[in-house]
Structure 1
Amino acid sequence: MCHIYAKDKGSLQKLLGTSGLLDWSQFTLLAGVDSKHLDAVKELAACKNTPTETELVMFVMILEDASHLKDPESDLASRLKPLTTAHAELVNSQWKHGSSKSSYNSIVSYISNYPSLCVTAEDGTPVSWLLLYHHSALGLLYTSPEHRRKGHARLLVTTMAKALLEQGRPVYSFVEEDNLASYSLFTSLGFSHKPDYRAVWFQLNPR
């Protein structure tokens, strides 16, 4: 995994074209490409005869107004716990991009190295959860269908956001353009996005 930063088309193409940086004959996922720079990537891929596919287009939701983060109800808050690696298989089974050994390993890494939270049922089983990716974005937010519309997701995002803010860390999340439920949740909690900015997940040599 590598991170590439560029502010203009020319420098991005120069970086991506650096010998040995990418194997243009293998599957590669470019995660979070600025939509304004996507044409630069497509042009370079075309020059190398590499097939491409846009996987996802995301809003980058950033918490700029923390006043909407209200204290949770005490009965729900008492059911909050960190996830453990024993829960990785459950999380993997419900993740849109999960169900593989690779995604399972990623989830184990997230739980082991970064903050996570879940709301548990009476028997201690997680019914709703929220993790942090390696780049500190809130992610993998999920609530089992029978427990939805009870404030679980709002509680998880609020609690995690407050903890991160107390540590002086940025609070943000990637939300797919067509995920209206998540978009509504995050905007109601004070998150916003730049109207002219999208982050694109872009595949080279799509699987």
Structure 2
Amino acid sequence: MLVLSCSTKLLILENMLRSHFPESLKVYGAVMNINRGNPFQKEVVLDAWPDFKAVITRQQREAETDNLDHYTNAYAVFYKDATAYQRLLEEHDVINWDQVFQIQGLQSELSDISKAVANSKRLDVKLTSFKAVHFSPVSSLPDTSFLPASSPRSLTALGVGDAELLNRTWSRGGNPQCLRYLARLVACFPSACVRDARGRPVSWGLTDQFATMCHGYTLPEHRRRGYGRLVALALAAKLQRRGFPAQGNVLDDNAPSISLLRGVHARFLPCRFHRLILTPAPAAPQAP
């Protein structure tokens, strides 16, 4: 195991990962954030340098962690050789197996390898697979004249104070860990939001620690007005202006979001996005 901490080498790694799109997109996004201030306290672990065959991004060991927070305790994976990934996964001190965490990646063998190692350590594994998408360059935003006329700043960014609403409306949310995580995302990364005349968010999208567009949502009473399309394109444009690829994922049965993505000419990638949430087995009670 090698922790890559040299800023020059991290920039070289960023450039190297570009030649492995789209499979390297999750790790690439995390490395880009590391190279631009590292607001989420990430680090890079490889099997070797510079001829690496597997790379994992993870939380810095000195960062404060909550063992129940699988949102923040997240690893992104890219490998050129599946066996090298398995060896790195099994190596001592690469993964903190004592906490709830997630593994993300865009390669087909990732889930089987990760599950096999996790099962050997008696962890419960929940796998979800998504369509992966990439936005074409956004040259101009759609017309915003339909936005509430009484609010001149209707298209804005989210604020930390909006995290409570985000937590209530996210299908993966509704708990203190998610609330804290969403507040950090809003504070650290680009977002887009349509607000009503009273300044309350009605439609939004944000960016996660892997530079992935996530939690695109419109309140039910404000749907079918074009807000979701506007937010998606505004957020994609923000990311692209900063040099990031505008990428996201969507569940296969989320017909409204798939229709929206097709409407803005987002490209569905040939690979799929896999997210595994891993939970350690409860400790066995000690004999009296």
Q: How would you bin the TM-score normalised by the shorter chain?
A: 0.7 to 0.9
2:50 pairs with 1:50: no
Cα pair 2:78 2:107 within 8 Å, conserved = no
Are the structure 2 counterparts of residues 126 and 153 from structure 1 closer, same or farther at C-alpha, using a change threshold of 3 Å? same
Q: Counterpart of 1:163?
A: 238
* Higher relative contact order (Cα pairs below 8 Å, separated by 6+ residues): 1
Q: Counterpart of 1:147?
A: 222
Structure 1 counterpart of 2:252, from 164, 177, 192: 177
Aligned counterparts of 1:133 and 1:161: Cα–Cα separation in 2: 13
2:274 pairs with 1:204: no
Cα pair 1:33 1:202 within 8 Å, conserved = no
Q: Counterpart of 1:60?
A: 132
Q: Shift of residue 40 of structure 1?
A: 1.7
TM-score by length of 1: 0.87
Are the structure 2 counterparts of residues 206 and 155 from structure 1 closer, same or farther at C-alpha, using a change threshold of 3 Å? farther
TM-score by length of 2: 0.64
For 1:41, give the aligned amino acid: S
Cα pair 1:25 1:50 within 8 Å, conserved = no
Q: Shift of residue 25 of structure 1?
A: 5.2
Equivalent residues in 2 for 1:1-207, closer than 5 Å:
1=59, 2-24=75-97, 26-32=99-105, 34-54=107-127, 56-64=128-136, 66=138, 70-76=141-147, 78=152, 79-195=154-270, 197-205=271-279
Q: Shift of residue 139 of structure 1?
A: 1.1
Q: Shift of residue 51 of structure 1?
A: 3.4
Please identify which structure carries the higher helix content.
1
Q: Shift of residue 181 of structure 1?
A: 1.2
Are the structure 2 counterparts of residues 76 and 206 from structure 1 closer, same or farther at C-alpha, using a change threshold of 3 Å? farther
Q: Shift of residue 187 of structure 1?
A: 2.0
Are the structure 2 counterparts of residues 6 and 150 from structure 1 closer, same or farther at C-alpha, using a change threshold of 3 Å? same
User: Over aligned residues, Cα RMSD in angstroms?
Assistant: 2.3
For 1:125, give the aligned amino acid: R
For 2:191, give the aligned amino acid: S
Q: Mean alpha-carbon deviation: is it higher for 24-33 or for 122-131? A: 24-33
Aligned counterparts of 2:277 and 2:266: Cα–Cα separation in 1: 28
Aligned counterparts of 1:206 and 1:95: Cα–Cα separation in 2: 24
Are the structure 2 counterparts of residues 66 and 121 from structure 1 closer, same or farther at C-alpha, using a change threshold of 3 Å? closer
Per-residue CA deviation, residues 122-173 of structure 1 (Å, 9 max, x unaligned), is 2111111111112211111111111000000001111222232233321111
Q: How many residues were matched structurally?
A: 204
- Segments of 5+ residues of structure 2 without an aligned counterpart are 1-58, 60-74, 282-288
- Segments of 5+ residues of structure 1 without an aligned counterpart are none
Aligned counterparts of 1:32 and 1:3: Cα–Cα separation in 2: 6
